[in-house]
Amino acid sequence: MSGIAILAIAIVALGAGYIFYGKWLAKKWGVNNSIKTPAIEINDGIDYVPTKKQVVFGHQFASIAGAGPINGPIQAAVFGWLPVMLWCIIGGIFFGAVQDFSSMFASVRNKGRSIGIIIENYVGKTGKRLFLLFVYFFSILVVAAFSDIVAKSFGVSEAFTETVNHANSQVACTSTLFIVAAVALGFWIKAKQPGTALNTAVSIIMLIICVALGCLFPFSLSVNTWMYLVFIYILIASVVPVWALLQPRDYLNSYLLIFMIAAAVVGIFVSNPKMELPAFTGFTSSIGSMFPILFVTIACGAVSGFHSLVSSETASKQVEKESDMLPISYGAMLVESLLGIIALVAVGAVAVNGVIPAGTPQVIFSQAVSGFLAGIGIPADISFTLISLAVSAFALTSLDSVARVGRLSFQELFLDKEDEDTSNLPEWKKILTNRWVATIIVLIPSFALAKVGYQEIWALFGSANQLLSVLALAAVAVYLKKANKSNKMMFFPMFFMLAVTVVALIQLIISNIVTFGKSATVSAFGQSMQIILAALLVALAIIVVIACCRKLFGKDDEKAKA
């Protein structure tokens, strides 16, 4: 099948999913603009900040996309293009987008509180603490995997080609300029409150200037040096007010990311690449059996538990009115699924005799899309740098978001609903809930695990990510029941993903135990970390799911705020 046909089917299916299923969910749950959102009601100027729909969409999309929808489908393409295509579409519409939308809806209706607090409200304090502990461990995994990806997309290495090293140097400079520009943009927006048109024009001009300067004045640092710099950056970025860096940086990056997707779509329609991969290769492959490996590998391209954290921890605190939730959450997830399809077409176009070429998924994607863009007159070297920049922007925007989520979850672990006034807390609690201390406690183990390399922990990340989606779906299902709203659409995604992830994590534990100390690529420390984290995640998740199911299928003993 041609790339155009696959892309066209995906666009039509995902668009229909938004129009029919997404809007049906909004109607079913009673989305209502007459209800004040937490951003309006609380508005503390730090986390709760009423923000225009397009800015929050930019934050949501840039945060959730990461490198997942590019890495996952390319790695899963060993099963053939058809299973990947089907899961990106079906999973995106009925699993991922439902989780993202419902998590944001439940959070907005609960004062912008996280999924952990929602579990506390409707399941109990023990369930909440176990969930937050799960999120803490999961955040360590995400920061470790994505920091390694970012460092390798910024740094130079003897293992990389000259072309990749040059592009990385340009990307590093441009991304650094983005951060400076984002801070300036954030302070300007806060001080002047410009209109949408002026805001957009200034943002695009700043984006163009940063890209031009980054390409003209690249600077080279080693991958190892960038690893240290990335961790210093996310330490700062995850504690400053959202308007000072998180919002404007994501807003700037969203234009770059949307440009990349739009350019790739145009490039595919112009070049009409042929899929050089078979439609289906079988139920087993070099990376394992289709169940469960296909689903945990594709991860963010179809469903990602991390999205529920962004939806409920950050974006829900910025939504101006309830009707904005559908495009911000459900819509952003479908765009991410579309990106997964583009990554699939990209790897299919550069495959040779049905074999995926060597190289990291980011390099494969950048080379393929730059080839598409050559068909519309954009030089391959320029487009390769721009696409590499966009891919690194995906990963970087996820990094500080998940570090912030990990920090908030760790803080909430020691706080109860009644602890609104933290000045009365015991001294040890004040120390652990300090935002700088909490962030450092997330970053130290993340840095240690990042040394293992994202390739070796991707399966664990994917499994934990999908398992987190199970917990989010279960928690929201309980909330919807208490609020007398339909929750039947949550059941199949919840139990299907539970089966997928528990099987995947058990397989991973057994594999690491069998090969412990024998792997040529993973250290004994790395294997130990994976075994411990996988076992903890399985245990915590099963306990939380059981607690949620007791509330879900037990007697309706209390009601939630509708």
Q: Is the pLDDT of residue 6 over 90?
A: yes
Q: What does the pLDDT read at residue 556? A: 59
The structure's pTM equals 0.86
105-119, 474-488, 542-556: lowest mean pLDDT where?
542-556
The 10s digit of each residue's pLDDT in 249-283 is 877 777 788 888 888 899 999 999 999 999 999 99
Tokens in use for 467? Answer: 């398992």
Regarding predicted confidence, which is higher, 360 or 48?
Answer: 48
DSSP letter (8 states) at residue 222? B
Give CA–CA dist 174/451, Å, rounded. Answer: 25
* Long-range Cβ pairs for the range 197-205 (8 Å, 24+): 203/251, 203/252, 203/255, 204/255
SS (H, E, C) 158-202: CCCCHHHHHHHHHHHHHHHHHHHHHHHHHHHHHHHCCCHHHHHHH
Give CA–CA dist 348/352, Å, rounded. Answer: 9
Return the axis-axis angle of helices 246-271 and 3-16, rounded to nearest 10°. Answer: 130
The 10s digit of each residue's pLDDT in 444-485 is 999 988 888 777 777 788 888 888 999 999 999 999 999 999
Return the axis-axis angle of helices 491-514 and 290-298, rounded to nearest 10°. Answer: 100
The chain-wide mean pLDDT, for the chain, equals: 88
The 10s digit of each residue's pLDDT in 291-315 is 999 998 898 899 999 899 889 988 9
pLDDT bracket for residue 14 (50, 70, 90): very high
Using an 8 Å Cβ cutoff, are 498 and 538 in contact?
Answer: no
Q: What does the pLDDT read at residue 360? A: 77
The 10s digit of each residue's pLDDT in 438-455 is 999 999 999 988 888 777
The 10s digit of each residue's pLDDT in 192-227 is 888 778 888 888 898 889 888 988 899 899 999 999
Using an 8 Å Cβ cutoff, are 396 and 150 in contact?
Answer: yes
Give CA–CA dist 534/540, Å, rounded. Answer: 10
DSSP letter (8 states) at residue 37? P
Q: CA angle 94-73-299, nearest 5°? A: 50
Q: What does the pLDDT read at residue 386? A: 81
Tokens in use for 532? Answer: 């411990």
Give CA–CA dist 540/544, Å, rounded. Answer: 6
Q: What does the pLDDT read at residue 473? A: 95
CA dihedral 131, 133, 134, 137 (to 10 degrees): 160
Using an 8 Å Cβ cutoff, are 506 and 467 in contact?
Answer: no
Q: Is the pLDDT of residue 526 over 80?
A: no
Q: Is the pLDDT of residue 328 over 60?
A: yes
